[in-house]
Amino acid sequence: MRALQPAQLISTPLNVEALSDQPNVTQRFLKPLLDAVENSEYLLGGSVGQFTVEHNLFQIPRFIFMGPTGGGDTIRLGIFAGLHGDDPAGAEAIVEFLRELELAPQAARGCHIYAYPICNPIGFAARSRSQTTGEDLAGHFWSGSSQPVVYYLERELGVHRFHGVISLRTANHAGGFSVDTKSDVLNRALAQPALQASRELSPGRQSGDEPNAGLLQASPGPSMPNFHTATDKLSPAPFELHIGIPGDFPPPAQIQGTVGALKSILDSYRSLVSIGQNL
């Protein structure tokens, strides 16, 4: 059993007892993961910080899957979901992804995966896109925001210096899953295999000739803003991918397609790093 660990510089652990202070919907969502932490050799659970709004306490949960030791340097990946509180698909996909890694930990060999399923705990509890202030958090990153969620997540990005950052959002475009990146190399090496994996796990819902399949986004778009790493404060800058989850898919297809894409990215990036180390 591994102990619950708070984020660096944070003294607020998140455990089953602490859940009693959280909204009911958050308690129900997080309890299975926290139960898994108690008996896991690989999974850690914690909070990156807490804040109070109108006398209600909110915490930003973070789970770390520490895969078996690999042959080279440890790869650190950050996966973020739930920035919009009315978008639970990404959060649910993270839960399933961690559960499947627990059953097959070698899939994360040489990797530490930092997963943030509920980036907007106020919106998540209210099932609201924004916070109680009505502000969309996506536009506040790296702009000196006073929003506690933005502060804590920016600090996570700065402290852990991820090699890669993946964000999960439900997208309302037609054409199934999308994986957006600003790099042609990443598009070929990571995005295209991830799209293929999402298709294989969402049979009958996508085809290879769809207009959005393998979308290469040269600059941030309005539906998938590049908020995580759009700053010169992160050096070296991590790679960044945005997985667009099709809003018109049934929940099981959304979750399984996303999990398939995440597993593919993990495997493809590890192979990419291995090739680079052997050059």
What is the CATH number for 274?
3.40.630.10
Are 231 and 66 in contact by the 8 Å Cβ rule? The answer is no
Specify if 225 maps to a domain. Answer: no
If you ran DSSP here, which 8-state letter would residue 34 be given? Answer: H
For residue 44, the number of C-alpha atoms closer than 13 Å in the C-beta half-sphere is: 17
Q: Which positions ≥6 away from 168 have C-beta within 8 Å?
A: 79, 80, 81, 89, 90, 93, 94, 243, 245, 258
- The answer to whether residue 26 sits within a structural domain is yes
Write out pLDDT tens, residues 166-184.
999 888 766 789 888 888 8
What's the pLDDT tens digit per position in 214-246?
443 333 343 445 556 667 777 778 889 999 999
Instruction: Please tell me which residue, 21 or 235, carries the higher pLDDT value.
Output: 235
Number of domains in the chain: 1
Q: Is 151 helix (H, G, I), strand (E, B) or coil?
A: helix
Model confidence, pTM: 0.84
Question: Which pLDDT value is given to residue 227?
Answer: 53
Six token digits for residue 260: 């398939």
Residue 105's domain comprises: 18-219+237-278
List CB contacts of 193: < 8 A, sequence separation 6 or more: 264, 265, 268
What are the start-end ranges of the E strands in 54-124? 56-66, 75-80, 111-116
CB 158 within 8 A of CB 224: no
Virtual CA dihedral for 167, 173, 176, 177, nearest 10 degrees? Answer: -10
Q: In this structure, is residue 10 part of a structural domain?
A: no
Q: Look at residue 91 and tell me if it is in a domain.
A: yes
226 lies in some domain: no
**Other C-beta atoms within 10 Å of 247: how many?**
14
What does DSSP assign to residue 191?
Answer: I
Q: Is the pLDDT of residue 27 over 70?
A: yes
Asked if the structure places residue 257 within a domain, the reply is yes
Residue 11 lies in a domain: no
Is residue 231 included in any domain, yes or no? no
- pLDDT tens by residue, 256-279: 999 999 999 999 998 888 776 543
